[in-house]
Chains A and B, each alone.
Chain A
Amino acid sequence: MSDPKISSTSEPSGNVTGASIMLEEVTKTYPGQKKSAVGGLTLEIPAGSIVMFVGPSGCGKTTTLKMINRLIEPTSGQIVINGEDVTGMNGDELRRRIGYVIQAGGLFPHMTVATNIAMVPKMLGWSKEKIAARVDELLELVSLDPELYRDRFPKELSGGQQQRVGVARALAADPPVLLMDEPFGAVDPITRQRLQDELLNIQSEVQKTIVCVTHDFDEAVKLGDWIAIFNEGAQLEQYDSPERILANPASEFVENFIGSGAGLKQLTLTRVNEVELLGTVTTTPGKRASDVLSQIQGAGRKFAVVLDSRGRPLRRLDRRQLSRAEIIEGTYDPDLPVVGEQATLNDALDTMLVASAESAIVTGPRDVFKGLITVQTVMEAIAAANASMDQDHEAPVGLNSGAINVVDIEQGSSSGESA
């Protein structure tokens, strides 16, 4: 998929096709404004990672993002992509090497889906055949049937589909870097969740460096490898992994920003397949109930899980039910608490609460039984996650030069007012 001619800036290491980005003391002061929209920001964005920008409205997220592809020219400072200073190069050429996704996709309404996606490859002079093949490949990647959607106009697509095409267009020339400005802001919550999951799937395939602005802290936690929390003037309040931001908010500002649900947000950080599952006694329809009963008594379990011939859970039977029955029944219990192994602990806990059960059955690919997750497992996982916080990788560099100055000035002015 990667085209060595195009992604000249990327240095393939393993699967990672992304490029590292370094903002060095970048400042943006809009003409006629006293305060800088972005003040002396130094930020390291590691290759192949997803970095989320969050912060209150007007704090400079978009400005910072657009300075990476120089849609907005920095007033001072350098932007370095994969070791190359791009601050002085031709902006149009730079932008052809950086994918850009905006809210609602930003598709050109007078062009078909295929033409929209083909814009950048055309500018780069690809052959027609190569472009056509690439368009289809990308539509597949974003889960749209090429036959069906290639020749449609944007207005003939749903909001979520437009957003997908927007992502496909951004990925067209296989750029090492993808910039997204509130990409999922304009779609309904269910579509948003699906698009988020899809982006994660795509990212696991393409391993780009993604910088994404969002208003939604939960989205930042879900998608981000690293989260940058900005205050006014793009002052970095905290730049760290979602785990550590939730566990140790760096300031009161961050604490307020992530809100009171922060303790529970740990639950969305861990996926079910990351915790140790409990084994249990399984059986199949047609077995003698008394045999199964003695098995679970021997194993010290409360119930047995009945699986169908493909290993999919059908129902569970506790000791009382087993002692009453003679033969194990094969009927399916629709109220069985089941979660997929990709679900978050939050989802698992939800499932257990809804079913008033203290454990849930975990299934893997093709709904095959994997084990049990209990309320206790969830609690232990949270405790363990909190404890392991400090052993995580080192966070990338992020700071504002003159940040101390700004604080001084602010304190000075506020004390001046009170005096």
Chain B
Amino acid sequence: MSAERRGLIFQLLGIAAAFAILVIWLVTADLTETERQTLDPATILKYTQQHLEITLISAVIVLLIAIPLGILLTRPSVRKAAPAVRAVANFGQAAPAIGVIVLLAFWLGFGARTAIVSLVIYAILPVLSNTIVGLQQVDQRLVEAGRGIGMSQLAVLFKIELPLAVPVMLAGIRTALVLLVGTATLATFINGGGLGILITTGVNLNLNVVLIAGSLLVALLALTIDWVGRLVEQLARPKGLS
């Protein structure tokens, strides 16, 4: 526990230090006019905001789909369908993200909306499978004990199964978020906005500073989201579990 806490603190310090170095480097570097314009703090802030928006909207949609689906697939009556659904979700993740995004764009049109749809497809699997695994690893005797003392199926789900599945589910959600932050970079290919613009601009106009700054910002954002996820995991872990 304390080791985990220490890990969290180190991670936060590392992120802060890396960010500080990036800022100092950008401030002191000898930038061309185009570079200066592209890396204007207000612009970067706007891109970051877009990036987070795409990420969070997709994340919310992922949760809204994957958690209920995971719960459904662990109910005795539909348990048999679980492998098939997981195979589909697996396919969503295994397909190259860039391919999915571009193909969907031809079908649904270019823009942030399509980016979100493809991100959702891409990130469903970790949440879905961790919800299923988290619920499956709950001791069936506890479920039976709950039913045995007169709890309804729904009460057992919300008071016993889900609380006990929370640690595993949160780990899946964190994985999905990190995936989403990284993959949201691709949104720029279909005019979806986000920090990816810095990277494409850097590549297209051969502006190495912009390319590096963009990549680092995405990485730092992913690490920050990961940190928040870990923090939530620690705080939300039910007491009484070792």
- B118-156 CB contacts (< 8 Å) to partner A: 141-142, 144-152, 155
Chain B nearest Cβ from A318, distance in angstroms: 58
Let me know if B160 and A100 touch, CB within 8 A: no
Interface membership of A84, Cβ < 8 A: no
Chain A nearest Cβ from B235, distance in angstroms: 14
Number of B residues with CB within 8 Å of any CB on chain A: 21
- Residues of A within 8 Å of B109, CB to CB, are none
B148, B150, B238, B239 — which one has the most chain A CB atoms within 10 A of its CB? Answer: B150
Interface membership of B163, Cβ < 8 A: yes
Interface membership of B99, Cβ < 8 A: no
Residues A92 and B240 in contact in the complex (CB < 8 Å), given A100-B145, A106-B144, A109-B164: no
Chain A nearest Cβ from B103, distance in angstroms: 44
- Residues of A within 8 Å of B142, CB to CB, are 106, 108-109
Interface size class of A (residues with CB under 8 A): 20 to 34
Let me know if B150 and A123 touch, CB within 8 A: yes
- Residues of B within 8 Å of A409, CB to CB, are none
- Residues of A within 8 Å of B155, CB to CB, are 123
Chain B nearest Cβ from A105, distance in angstroms: 8
Let me know if B240 and A111 touch, CB within 8 A: yes
Let me know if B152 and A153 touch, CB within 8 A: no
- Residues of B within 8 Å of A170, CB to CB, are 149
Let me know if A120 and B242 touch, CB within 8 A: no
- Residues of A within 8 Å of B152, CB to CB, are 92
Let me know if A100 and B240 touch, CB within 8 A: no
Closest to A69 in B: B148
- Residues of B within 8 Å of A169, CB to CB, are 149
Interface membership of A112, Cβ < 8 A: yes
Let me know if A120 and B148 touch, CB within 8 A: no
- Residues of A within 8 Å of B150, CB to CB, are 92-98, 120, 123
Let me know if B148 and A100 touch, CB within 8 A: yes
- Residues of B within 8 Å of A153, CB to CB, are 239-240
Interface membership of A119, Cβ < 8 A: yes
- Residues of A within 8 Å of B147, CB to CB, are 71, 95
Chain B nearest Cβ from A125, distance in angstroms: 13
Residues A108 and B148 in contact in the complex (CB < 8 Å), given A102-B141, A154-B240: no
Measured CA separation A111–B164 after assembly (Å): 10
Let me know if A120 and B149 touch, CB within 8 A: yes
Let me know if B164 and A110 touch, CB within 8 A: yes
Measured CA separation A390–B66 after assembly (Å): 67
A110, A153, A170 — which one has the most chain B CB atoms within 10 A of its CB? Answer: A110
Let me know if B148 and A102 touch, CB within 8 A: yes
Chain A nearest Cβ from B183, distance in angstroms: 34
- Residues of B within 8 Å of A92, CB to CB, are 150-152
Let me know if B163 and A95 touch, CB within 8 A: no
Measured CA separation A296–B70 after assembly (Å): 84
Let me know if B145 and A106 touch, CB within 8 A: yes
> Which residue of B141, B148, B238 is within 8 Å of A110 (Cβ)?
B238
Measured CA separation A100–B159 after assembly (Å): 18
Let me know if A123 and B151 touch, CB within 8 A: yes
Measured CA separation A251–B53 after assembly (Å): 77
- Residues of B within 8 Å of A94, CB to CB, are 150
Let me know if B149 and A112 touch, CB within 8 A: no
- Residues of B within 8 Å of A155, CB to CB, are 240-242
Closest to B147 in A: A71
- A85-140 CB contacts (< 8 Å) to partner B: 92-100, 102-104, 106-112, 119-120, 123
Let me know if A109 and B149 touch, CB within 8 A: no
Closest to A120 in B: B149
- B163-212 CB contacts (< 8 Å) to partner A: 163-164
Chain A nearest Cβ from B16, distance in angstroms: 34
Chain B nearest Cβ from A77, distance in angstroms: 20
- Residues of A within 8 Å of B145, CB to CB, are 100, 102, 106-108
A98, A100, A109 — which one has the most chain B CB atoms within 10 A of its CB? Answer: A109
Let me know if B240 and A119 touch, CB within 8 A: no
- Residues of A within 8 Å of B238, CB to CB, are 109-110
Q: CB-CB contacts of A55-97 with B at 8 A, as 1s and 0s?
A: 0000000000000010100000000000000000000111111
Let me know if B241 and A110 touch, CB within 8 A: yes
Chain A nearest Cβ from B165, distance in angstroms: 11
Chain B nearest Cβ from A114, distance in angstroms: 12
Let me know if A102 and B144 touch, CB within 8 A: yes
Chain B nearest Cβ from A239, distance in angstroms: 25
Measured CA separation A227–B99 after assembly (Å): 70
- Residues of A within 8 Å of B242, CB to CB, are 155
Measured CA separation A92–B53 after assembly (Å): 45
- Residues of A within 8 Å of B160, CB to CB, are 108
Closest to A172 in B: B149
Let me know if B146 and A108 touch, CB within 8 A: yes
Closest to A154 in B: B240
Closest to A110 in B: B238
Let me know if A112 and B151 touch, CB within 8 A: no
- Residues of A within 8 Å of B149, CB to CB, are 95-96, 99-100, 119-120, 169-170
Q: List 23 interface pairs A-B (beta carbons < 8 Å), by A numbering.
A: A92-B152, A94-B150, A95-B148, A95-B150, A96-B149, A97-B150, A100-B148, A102-B141, A102-B145, A104-B141, A108-B145, A108-B159, A109-B238, A110-B238, A110-B239, A119-B149, A120-B149, A120-B150, A155-B240, A155-B241, A169-B149, A170-B149, A179-B148
A residues with a Cβ closer than 8 A to B are: 69, 71, 92-100, 102-104, 106-112, 119-120, 123, 153-155, 169-170, 179
B residues with a Cβ closer than 8 A to A are: 141-142, 144-152, 155, 159-160, 163-164, 238-242
Given contacts A97-B150, A100-B149, A110-B164, 19 further A-B contacts (CB under 8 A): A71-B144, A71-B148, A96-B150, A98-B150, A99-B149, A106-B141, A106-B148, A108-B142, A109-B142, A109-B164, A110-B163, A110-B239, A119-B151, A120-B150, A123-B151, A153-B239, A154-B240, A155-B242, A169-B149
**A-B complex: 9 closest residue pairs judged by Cβ atoms:** A106-B145, A96-B150, A153-B240, A100-B148, A110-B238, A95-B150, A110-B240, A92-B150, A92-B152
